[in-house]
Amino acid sequence: MKRYLTLILFLVSILIIYIGAKLQLYWSGVVAWGLALVCLIFAVHFSKYIPNEKVSKKKKKEI
């Protein structure tokens, strides 16, 4: 499940920016970009759980 969090958080950040741009409230753009930045930081953190194809192929060859 953790490997899908990168994609989910990336899509959530896009959605937050879109909603923040459409609201046209005072400071909504700054808040939207701040929340999107937090989501992107977490997406980068969870990207380490994406499996590496090269490593798994090397392990299969060694066996």
* pTM exceeds cut of 0.95: no
pLDDT digits (tens, 9 = 90+) for 39-62: 999 998 888 877 777 765 666 666
- In terms of C-beta distances under 8 Å and separation of at least 24 residues, what long-range contacts does 39-44 make, across chains too? 39/9, 39/10, 39/12, 39/13, 40/9, 40/10, 40/13, 42/5, 42/9, 43/5, 43/6, 43/7, 43/9, 43/10, 43/13, 44/6
pLDDT of residue 47: 84
- Alpha-carbon dihedral sign for residues 33, 34, 35, 36: positive
